Amino acid sequence: MAKRSTLFIRIVEGKNLPIKDITGSSDPYCIVKIDNEAIIRTATIWKTLSPFWGEEYTVHLPPYFRTVSFYVLDEDSLSRDDVIGKVSISKELLTVKPQGVDGWMNLTEIDPDEEVQGEIHLQISVLGDGDIPRKLCCQVLEARDLAKKDRNGASDPFVRVRYNGKTYESAVVKKSCYPRWNESFEFELDETLSDTGLLSVEVWDWDLVSRNDFLGKVLFNINKLQSAQQEEGWFRLGPDKSKHSEYEGTLGSLRLQLRLRDEVVLPSSHYKPLTELLSQSVGSQLNGNWPDFIMLIDETTTAESRQEVANNLVKLFLGQGLVKEFLDVLFKLELEKTTEPNTLFRSNSLASKSMESFLKVAGMQYLHRLLGAIINRIFEEKKYVELDPSKVELKEAGCAGLHRQQTESDIIQQSSSLLQSYLSELLTSILQSASYCPLLICQVFHQLYLRVQERFPDPEYRKVKFIAVTSFLCLRFISPAIMSPKLFHLREKHADARTSRTLLLLAKAVQTIGNMDTLACCSKEPWMVCLQPAIQQGITQLKDFITKLVSCHESEDLELQTRMSLQCGTMEKEGFLFLHRTKDKCMPMTSPFKKYYVTLSKDTLSYSRTQHSKKSSSISLPKIRAVEKVEEKCFGSANVMQIISSEDSGLQETLYLDCKVRLFDVSLCHTLCLSVWLKACSHNTNTMSCYHPGIYKADRWSCCHQKEKSDSGCDKTRHGVTLQEWYDPLDPDLEAQLIYQHLRSVQQAMRDKYYMLREQQGDCFDFTDKKKVDGLSKLFSILQDLHDAHAAVEEEERSKNKNVFLELQT
């Protein structure tokens, strides 16, 4: 049994942001933090006060997280980025709104006294008894993960303890966010203040010249302390008393969509009956031997949940090897409801959403290989391209030659030539891609092609079968990736305004080719007529490509089939990284990183100096004990992480990685790279509970200044926060759990729909066929069994918590 919390985040847009640049605009981006840990950085949207991001993320969290915060900053190339404001949302708010939070939220000013993080280890006790005056003793032991307030990437923390008008201060620990003090402070206990007295423990960053910076505080009620006599542990630092912001409502706002889902995933055996029943229904539905479960799911799923349900079903049937059959059932259902071929697969039906999910899961590597070169070329050239005369800006185009300004006609002619060049390169790439398109995608498109041909036969509907394929491949896969390469991991950042316009015009051309109707496009946008010859040629080429694509399943070439086979969740991740390996060696003074070719497989991390080098080193993934961040001050970079593993000899080895690279054709930031390694080691058992976020150099740890190299660590390891990506391994138990939850929520609607269809069929319905009714009853019985299993788990958890509470009371 596994517990997990999943947070769906969509950062939609911003509006009315303040001006931060001398140009009268800003360059905003967002950083998302979970409990002060940065996990997401959006792209920068240049020169706008109303940015649109449209970025979506799925984050897996530990159940004990407290808040999710969105910081909006203005990027500056020459100075430190300006902070605009933030939005903070508590876990409690997300919990009480299971349907999710969706709307505009005002940005608030960031008060340094409220931006605190970290924990402090204290032991507080009440000493003395009888005639001896009682004393309050506060022992300040250590702190961890304090905020960095100085330019050197650390702080100079000290503790200030206050009680009953008296104040003591600890020593200052220089350049550390993980200080150890081990100091004790005693106060005369004032019995008259026992009900209202407070002990305040504050942490500050010492500064020689400027004002000391507040790092957080903890308050203790003396009355409760006298009852307990002693209290010891790690205490989370809290902010100072909130101040009313004079900027409230003037910093702009963010439109956010968030939804928190807590899951308890049962052992696999509980989901086996549901998975088998759905698999049997897909395999036998074409013969009419089972109730139309997929049809009932299609009819009862709301538009809001359709994308998530489609994604879960696709992953479940991928794991069962039945995704082709599942999609075929959806094709049949969609075709039965369609009377006008021009509307085929154009709505957001379960069939359309399922095909979108399937292409993203099964075809993302194919997409990167297909579009990578042309997208990179457009980003690197940064040419000014415009075909619409009403949008041509002569100052953007520059001069055609010495002292000669380009005319509108020159710009349109040059733009037409560039777009035709881009389109020609893209179409050539598409034609060549038939040889490496994943075999399963070819098979699905082949089945779609045949189903459409049966429903809309030649010669009257000779184009419909091609348009059915292009409606998914071009309109829902290739074109969106061209318009927003950042969202498909083709680029690390969004395009600037000029490049975005070029990508949009190229995507329009691809959509026109996909629709296979040049006249309709030119009638709506006459200025596209200059591309008509290239588009007409592209339609012919695309038809040839589809003919090849739907015939690939017949290939007998085993090597080709192996190359084209789908490897969902098992593919290797590989690419060049800068590494430094250390066992008992001290850190060298110069840069220790060297370039290695790294391969992350299912059970091994290996690295060598070149891709085809015979000599390589490797680490078994089960031997990895921790994957954690490294303090920025250690290497002068915020993108370094460490992998700590144990060897057979018992020695501990640390591998440092610089993560600001492209790995396996994905632009990896530090957080994404860390997430990849955490997921690879998620099932390890011999993990560390604490570690050093610094490095061992000059006979001491840079983080906490301890001299023992074998010191256990000054910060706790974090195993919780990971980002969900398209290359994640399939998790059949989780997908079955999510499908169970959905079916449970629409159970009554499915029953009503089923009997309504029986009534509509009237005499045509075979009421003596008990198999269909029994099949539906079997589904509801399985759902009830899963409900009972979850209820038993909840009862066991409540009983366990009750026993823990009684033990604490004792």
DSSP string, 280-346: HHHHHGGGT-S--HHHHHHHH--TTTHHHHHHHHHHHHHHHT-HHHHHHHHHHHHHHH---GGGTT-
**Is residue 440 within 8 Å of 548, Cβ to Cβ?**
no
Q: What is the dihedral of CA 89, 90, 92, 94, to 10 degrees?
A: 30
Q: Which two tokens stand for residue 713?
A: 């660590």
Q: What is the pLDDT of residue 130?
A: 64
C-alpha 166/C-alpha 189 separation (Å) is 11
Tokens read off for 404: 């000669």
Eight-class DSSP state of 478: I
> Angle, nearest 10°, between helix axes 350-381 and 464-473?
60
The DSSP symbol for 477 reads I
**Distance between CA 549 and CA 436 in Å, rounded?**
10
Instruction: Identify the three-state secondary structure at position 454.
Output: helix
Give backbone dihedrals phi and psi of 563, rounded to 5 degrees, phi first.
-65, -30
Tokens 């109707």 correspond to 517
Quote the CA–CA distance of 462 and 471 in Å, as a whole number. 15
DSSP three-state, residue 633: helix
CA-CA-CA-CA torsion sign (313, 317, 322, 324): positive
What is the spatial distance between Cα 418 and Cα 406, in angstroms, rounded to a whole number?
Answer: 16
Q: How does DSSP assign 95-161, residue by residue?
A: HH-TT-EEEEEE-B---TTT----EEEEEEEEE--TTSPPEEEEEEEEEES----STTSS--EEEEE
Measured CA distances, 227 to 188, 496, 700 (Å): 17, 63, 41
Is 193 in a helix, a strand, or coil?
helix
Tokens of 91: 């876990």
Count other Cβ atoms within 10 Å, centred on residue 185.
20
Q: CA 36 → CA 80, 145, 208, 796, distances in Å?
A: 20, 10, 27, 33
Distance CA 281, CA 288 (A): 9
- DSSP one-letter string for 182-226: EEEEEEE--GGGTTT-EEEEEEEE--SSSPPEEEEEEEEEHHHHH
Q: How many residues are recorded in the chain?
A: 810
Q: Round to whole Å and give the CA distance between 452 and 341.
A: 9
| Backbone φ/ψ region at 685: left (φ over 0), alpha (ψ -120 to 50), beta | alpha
Q: How far is CA 526 from CA 22, 531, 540, in A?
A: 39, 10, 22
The alpha carbon of 426 is separated from its chain's Cα centroid by a whole number of angstroms, namely 29
Instruction: Name residues of the chain where pLDDT drops below 70.
Output: 1, 130-131, 192-196, 226-229, 241-249, 284-291, 396-404, 518-522, 553-573, 583-591, 660-677, 680, 682-683, 719-720, 727, 760-774, 804-810
Please, are residues 438 and 565 in contact by the beta-carbon 8 Å criterion? Answer: yes
Instruction: From 23, 27, 11, select the one nearest 82 (Cα to Cα).
Output: 27
Separation in Å, CA 143 to CA 357, 423, 591: 46, 59, 30
Residue 735: how many other CB atoms lie within 10 Å: 23
Backbone angles phi, psi at 773, to 5 degrees: -65, -40
Write down the pLDDT at residue 667. 37
The identity of residue 157, as a single letter, is P
End-to-end CA distance of the chain: 30
At residue 788, the pLDDT reads 94
What are residue 594's phi and psi, to 5 degrees?
-130, 155
Q: Where are the beta strands (DSSP E) in 222-281?
A: 230-236, 253-265
CA of 133: how far to CAs of 129, 130, 407, 735, in Å? 7, 8, 93, 63
Residue type, 640: V
Predicted local distance difference test score (pLDDT) of residue 577: 81
pLDDT in the model for residue 556: 46
Q: Which two tokens stand for residue 243?
A: 């101040």
CA distance 806 to 801: 9
Cα 242 versus chain centre, distance: 32
- CA-angle at 688, arms to 686 and 689, nearest 5°: 125
Q: Which pairing describes strands 198-205 and 213-221: parallel, antiparallel, or unpaired? A: antiparallel
Compute how many other C-beta atoms are within 10 angstroms of the C-beta atom of residue 467: 23
Cα distance between residue 456 and residue 339, in whole Å: 10
3-state secondary structure of 379: helix
The one-character DSSP state at 430 is: H
Helix, strand, or coil here: 733?
Answer: helix
Q: 165: exposed, middle or buried (C-beta count within 10 Å: 0-12, 13-18, 19+)?
A: exposed
Predicted confidence at residue 503, as pLDDT, reads 95
Q: pTM of the full predicted structure?
A: 0.78
Q: What is residue 805's predicted lDDT score, i.e. its pLDDT?
A: 59
